[in-house]
Structure 1
Amino acid sequence: MGHVLPETGIGRRAFLKTSLLVGGGLLIDVTLPGLATADDGQGGTLGAFIAIAPDGRVTITGKNPEIGQGIKTSLSMIIADELDVDWDQVTVVQAMADQAVYGTQMAGGSQATPTNWMPMRQIGAAARALLVAAAAQRWGVPADSVTTRSGRLLHAASGRSLGYGEIASAAAALPAPDPKTLTLKDPAAFRIIGQPTGGCDSPRVVRGEPIFGIDTRLPNMLYAVLERSPVFGGTLKSANAEAALARPGVKHVVTVKGNGRPESLVDGVAILATNWWLANQARDALQAEWDDGAGAAQSTEAYDAQAKALLDGKPQGENYRAGDVDGALAGAARRISADYAYPFLSHAPLEPQNCTALFQDGKLELWAPTQMPERGRGLVADALGLKPDAITMHMPRIGGGFGRRLMNDYVVQAAAIAQQVPGTPVKLLWSRTEDIQHDFYRPAGWHRFTAGFDADNKPVAFSNHFVTLTKGGKPTSGGEFDFQELPALLVPNLLFAQSGIDSVVPTCPMRAPRSNALAWAFQSFLDEVAVAAGTDLPGLTLGLLGEPRLLPLREGSRTPFHTGRARGVIEKVLAMADWTTKPAAGSAKGFAFYFCHQGYFAEVVEAAVAQDGTVRVPRVWVAGDIGSQVVNPSGALNQVRGSVIDGLGQALGGLAIRLTGGRVEQENFDTYPLPRTPGLPEIEVEFVTTEFPPTGLGEPALPPVIPALCNAIFTATGKRIRQLPIDTAGFKRPA
């Protein structure tokens, strides 16, 4: 039996349009309210989302940016399954950036699956319904007597069959079905969804085909570099453009004027040459002088000193208060307190920032590897004085972003440079040093936790004073507080307070924004609470969760928390890791649980600490709940394992961005080392299936791994890690 789409919800205001494919075949346009743009609140047209050629070949358009998260494959799998074709019949092509046509196009927040799950199913079901109707009309039989399988229409009573391509043109002439009448597949009948599937671009990536933004090549293209102040907020005083122009291969030197918006334009001098190496070599000749401004007074040491002073004082504001936390702490039989701090981090994607731009006849064409193309279009239009519809954007594959490419500064820079040399394609490419020293960073943060216990060692009060970075009195991007942090709503007396340090350092979300830092601080301190209470963190957490139930929506949170789903992944990972069995001497297991981006994840890390203090992670166990379906298990495993490796690299790799005189000290992977294949742990992953809509996987598996690692190190050595990255200097376990 199929699952009939309800009259309300996503199908209520949908609009379908069919047309004839050039050369014969079926083309389907779809407008769905579930894909409304953030600006207009109306449905977004998904364009020629499905094209069925006369030979039966099916082309599906990938609407969202592909950043390595596999969404170009998984969304197409959903459509193909409901269409009832075999995966090897499908070709996936990348859409252009056009929110008016395709609805919201972005890569971020693990939103692609939850927001597109039902629309993609509906698109596939609509196409299948059209083909069934066309076959029934040709055969003169009721539509409900026609079935489908592997791209063919079948009439069991007469033994007749047709390939989709044979009837596609006839289907194009039929009126589109009412979305309310569509019958979706029973999940038990899925043949593509839930099957491990290789990425649709993977063969091209392996062959080295030019599909990434950095690969863009256009006739007569010039390569650009942009020299800018090493201090955030610095402005240009002077530069020797003539000397740079005299260098070999250099064709133009142009000035870019900042507009006070780091995501848009900063002061700089662009050098355009016949190849990137020559342009980069010509930087020295500029001898640029800068006015550093107020940013030159900011440093890592100054931030740390300000944070300590703020933590020692009264919080500037309160985010959330429940019960009488002050009274409960004052009357507690025992209290514990601890400070935690974490540094700025760079996103450091393997593909440096780049964008290719061509400005001619008052119009602009961009090849922009961006996670938010529509925002980029708007920023470019505003900075260059263009109308948005004068800007065409291609969406090449992105070589990593982790939130960095939610910002579009490099897109606006390329456009501003190209506008000054009309008719000449310009490819702006950042160096690795620029990528690290001019990032929009994961902000640093500082916490002071206090917990109070009653005479039975039960936690009765919890407070956190959070010091974050601010601009104009508001937390900088990525430095906001999340009100869903445990133990919110699970202890009777609780206070989340906050203070801020004004900063000029540009920041933005990093993979699992906010959560990547908050999870470590909160889950590490809760491990301290558990030890003080005479239990372990899994026992403490399960006791706090209580019976399975949906908690009220927390202030500042969009997603309610289900204690039963949390309990499910915790119990699963404890069984996977054989939690109560201790590993060999010198090793220990650590646990953490976290809920973010609609995903519930519990993780156990085994840490082995050598006598010299070297920390090795041989094994990690991960249990996750992302709802009723894992669309592509192969891609899901890649996402989870990549998240674990990212987290371990942040903690153990010495990753930290440090500022001196407003300048970033780190320059390349020698001083900002990413994790490498040797020494990576065995990572075991299992999913707990629940009766909830599917959710995303780009973010929620990362946050628990860092506190689980640090909790394991504490168990092995008795040393509590309260500052990241982990400093192993002199870090020795007991003999």
Structure 2
Amino acid sequence: MTYHDKHLPQSGQQTGASRRDVLVSVSAAGLTLGFVVAGKAQAQTDAQDDAIRPLNAYVTVAPDGKVTILAKAPDVGQGVKTMLPMLIAEELDVPWEDVRVEMAPNDPKTYGRQFAGGSMATPMHWDEHRRVGAVARAMLIQAAATAWNCGPGDCVTEPGAVIHKPTGKKRTYGSLALACATVTPPDPKTLTLKEPKDYRIVGRPLAQYDTAKIVTGQPLFGIDQRRPGMLFATYVKAPVFGAKVASADLEAARAVKGVKAAFIVEGHPDAFAPGPGNIGQGLMPGVAVVADTWWAAKKGRDRLNVSWADHPTSQQSSKGYADKAATLNAGKPQRNLRNDGDVDAALKGAAKTVEAAYAYPFLSHANLEPQNCTAEFKDGKLEVWAPTQNPEPGRQLCAKTLGLAPEDITVHMVRGGGGFGRRLANDYMVEAAWISREVGAPVQVLWTREDDMQHDHYRPAGFHYLKGGLDAQGNLVALADHFVTFSNKDAIAPSAGMSAAEFPSRFVPNLRFDVSMIPLGVPTGPLRAPGSNALAFVFQSFIDELAHAAGADPLEFQIKLLGDQEVVGQAPAAYGAGRMVGVLRAVRDMSPWASRSTLPKGEGLGVGCYYSHLGYFAEVCHVGVSAEGGVKVKKVWVAADVGRQIINPHGALNQVQGSVLDGLSEALHQQITVANGAVEQSNFGDYPLMRISEACPVEVKFLKTDFNPTGLGEPALPPAIPALTNAIFAATGKRIRSLPLTPDMLKA
């Protein structure tokens, strides 16, 4: 089933929430309905109780029939501000044209976890949000039935109205909203959700709700926020992460016209302590310059002439990491992650063995909107407007750093100009909060592009030393990987780990994963498809090497390796081998894989597959390589299995195509290098992203399978990279084992 199909079948499911999970409020404005995940808060069901506040709501039906639906999760471009309200509107049975979407407040007691990450918006809210709409619809039906003195079974809905079946009488939702004050919310478990054949909104391709504002430049993003009397601030931090200020010419900065303040910030000790997940997460040492315009603040910053104190991380470098990895690989691994069978004996007895060393670099998120936050500290309370992916941890961080009670802090979620995991950290939020308190005025902190590039939470680099063994029939019988990664103290650095269940573990009888670690002073964190974006390159490329060593079709080699078991392992690490075989066969059939041997010289097809974030993806890439080493990606085919329902086909297609192009951009261009403890790249001139002239067509097919739908923001990215590098091997015979690609790797 292709991405443009109007409906993907899905059976209705009964809910598991109780009446105490529903909040209802009725006022002159109309009906307001909220839904609280069981266990997150104690809900009240008395519609006339003054303690029930509209801000605890998802749905408001106004007397004119217009419906406001609150989107609970932050939107950083992935489209959840549209997708989540679609689920509610579908079961409410309201015309999408009559829906107004607003961001919900940051209120974990009411809404549970509010975050954007891990492609979790769909799997977390598929059932929950449909229940919200179903309960609201049932209440409107009951209000109409009471008015008509009939049973609710005599009533049905059409978009925006309740119909009395025997007589054809009609009442609009708006006319029934106030009457819902006397309606007891039904137990959601008693409600039957719609069958897919009856969907009017789910499965319909819809533009993102904010598209009109985006294309017309209306204020929407974090950088657009304005407050009365607001000042602008820059915050300069040491090139070496965590280094403190030794001296700064504050008077020179203050002498710039428009500058209101310049001061040194010592930083919070926990922000740069060498503990798991700490480095760079909070208020780092630096110098703040505050002015009536951002440009004045920037000019003041340029005159600071800051000197920085010595710091141990200044001894670290990318070359040093690579040298240390080679040294560690030559010795005994520090830890064993998995050990199945007898790997050494199986390798010794193998008909063929393959050895290879793979490496990948640090990467920056490179959000198009640099990090920013607007904060207003007043009368002991803090209010912030932040394009954060993780608002509640940001509130807790500000509370801890400023010594405030969390309930005295309000976080407004605003649209983010890209996230990709970077905005899960809230360092920019705590900077704005601290500076606002210091100057006693609303402040917007805006990072420069150089700040953003050189003070990121980077995708970690990594090194893999692999050995594989094949028997006489070309079966993979042994595989060993010594993974050299990074640590903060004794713990693996954020997003730098690998699961013991990493494929192809459990599919190879003799398999060993070992791990060694290099101490790291560079902050790391999740980047789109964290971990998977690097590990897919390594393992899918090495499996391709093994397939060629076996003289096998690489795609069929993968299918043979997966075997005939439908599922391998147990939850939460269960692997749907049958689902992966399904997407491999689908991408084989939709691409010209069978005729790849007829391609012109210098062209090739490569395949990669990967499971991440609950999605199964297989991709074929077609490349051409010139004699000078230039790479042109001609097309990518994608087969995806994310369950039985695509909620918004436009959004789904955008996410898959964007993920593929993002992965290709990483492989073709991107790397962060460290010298003397500092990042060398500073802007798009030395950290280039894929240009539009390099973008290729991406054809997408979604398979219909009998599983609940899952997210799409990340799982299409990982297989794009090995599909590219394997295609380059097919075109040139040259194996790519380190990234990014350079022409020197591929020159004839």
Is this a same-fold pair by TM over 0.5? yes
Q: Deviations over 1:677-702 (max 9, x none)?
A: 11210110010011101100111000
- Correspondent of 1:693 among 680, 685, 708: 708
Q: CA deviation at 1:448?
A: 0.6
In 2: Cα distance, 1:45 partner to 1:309 partner: 61
Paired letter, 1:599: G
Task: Report the 3-state secondary structure (helix = DSSP H, G, I; strand = E; otherwise coil) of the residue aligned with 1:10.
Answer: coil
CA contact (8 A) 2:247 2:306 kept: yes
CA contact (8 A) 1:50 1:58 kept: yes
- Correspondent of 1:31 among 30, 33, 36: 36
Q: Deviations over 1:248-293 (max 9, x none)?
A: 1110112222223121111111000111111111123222111131
Q: 1:4 to 1:524 in 2, by over 3 A?
A: closer
In 1: Cα distance, 2:593 partner to 2:403 partner: 61
In 2: Cα distance, 1:441 partner to 1:722 partner: 21
Matched, 1:500 2:517: yes
In 2: Cα distance, 1:62 partner to 1:509 partner: 24
Q: CA deviation at 1:3?
A: 6.7
Task: Report the 3-state secondary structure (helix = DSSP H, G, I; strand = E; otherwise coil) of the residue aligned with 2:595.
Answer: coil
Name 2:365's counterpart in structure 1.
347
In 2: Cα distance, 1:173 partner to 1:204 partner: 39
CA contact (8 A) 2:19 2:186 kept: no
Name 1:707's counterpart in structure 2.
722
In 1: Cα distance, 2:397 partner to 2:94 partner: 41
Name 1:11's counterpart in structure 2.
17
- Correspondent of 1:427 among 428, 433, 444: 444
Computed over aligned residues only, the root mean square deviation of the Cα atoms, in angstroms, reads: 1.8
Matched, 1:417 2:432: no
Matched, 1:144 2:153: yes
In 2: Cα distance, 1:36 partner to 1:577 partner: 50
Matched, 1:675 2:690: yes
Q: Within 5 Å, which residues of 2 pair with 1:100-115?
A: 100-115=109-124
In 2: Cα distance, 1:528 partner to 1:348 partner: 32
Q: Within 5 Å, which residues of 2 pair with 1:178-577?
A: 178-260=187-269, 261=271, 262-422=280-440, 424-553=441-570, 558-577=572-591
Task: Report the 3-state secondary structure (helix = DSSP H, G, I; strand = E; otherwise coil) of the residue aligned with 1:580.
Answer: helix
Higher mean C-alpha displacement, 139-148 vs 425-434: 139-148
Paired letter, 1:117: W
Paired letter, 2:684: F
- Correspondent of 2:741 among 716, 721, 726: 726
Q: 1:330 to 1:2 in 2, by over 3 A?
A: closer
In 1: Cα distance, 2:383 partner to 2:393 partner: 15
Higher mean C-alpha displacement, 251-260 vs 678-687: 251-260
CA contact (8 A) 1:153 1:162 kept: yes
Q: Deviations over 1:36-66 (max 9, x none)?
A: 89xxxxxx99822000011110100011101
Q: 1:306 to 1:730 in 2, by over 3 A?
A: closer
Name 1:40's counterpart in structure 2.
none
User: TM-score, normalized by length of structure 1?
Assistant: 0.96
Matched, 1:618 2:623: no
In 1: Cα distance, 2:55 partner to 2:259 partner: 43
Q: Deviations over 1:636-682 (max 9, x none)?
A: 000001001101101112x1111111111111101011112112101
Paired letter, 1:584: P
Paired letter, 2:664: L
Paired letter, 1:10: G
CA contact (8 A) 2:40 2:109 kept: no
CA contact (8 A) 2:78 2:655 kept: yes
Matched, 1:20 2:26: yes
Paired letter, 2:178: S
Task: Report the 3-state secondary structure (helix = DSSP H, G, I; strand = E; otherwise coil) of the residue aligned with 1:420.
Answer: helix
Paired letter, 2:723: A
CA contact (8 A) 1:346 1:442 kept: yes
Paired letter, 1:271: V
User: Identity percentage over the alignment?
Assistant: 48
After the TM superposition, list the runs of 4 or more consecutive aligned residues in structure 1 that deviate by more than 3 angstroms.
1-6, 34-37
Paired letter, 1:179: P
Q: CA deviation at 1:559?
A: 4.0
Name 2:275's counterpart in structure 1.
none
Name 2:649's counterpart in structure 1.
633
Task: Report the 3-state secondary structure (helix = DSSP H, G, I; strand = E; otherwise coil) of the residue aligned with 1:97.
Answer: coil
Name 1:644's counterpart in structure 2.
660
Q: Deviations over 1:465-504 (max 9, x none)?
A: 1000111111111101023322111111111110000000
CA contact (8 A) 1:4 1:181 kept: no
CA contact (8 A) 2:498 2:531 kept: yes
**Matched residue pairs, number?**
719
CA contact (8 A) 1:355 1:410 kept: yes
Q: CA deviation at 1:15?
A: 1.6
In 1: Cα distance, 2:27 partner to 2:692 partner: 47
Task: Report the 3-state secondary structure (helix = DSSP H, G, I; strand = E; otherwise coil) of the residue aligned with 2:743.
Answer: coil
CA contact (8 A) 1:295 1:661 kept: yes
Task: Report the 3-state secondary structure (helix = DSSP H, G, I; strand = E; otherwise coil) of the residue aligned with 1:338.
Answer: strand
Task: Report the 3-state secondary structure (helix = DSSP H, G, I; strand = E; otherwise coil) of the residue aligned with 1:447.
Answer: strand
Matched, 1:84 2:93: yes
User: TM-score, normalized by length of structure 2?
Assistant: 0.94
CA contact (8 A) 1:358 1:418 kept: yes
**Residue ranges of structure 2 left out of the alignment (5+ in a row):** 1-8, 43-52, 272-279
In 2: Cα distance, 1:440 partner to 1:488 partner: 29
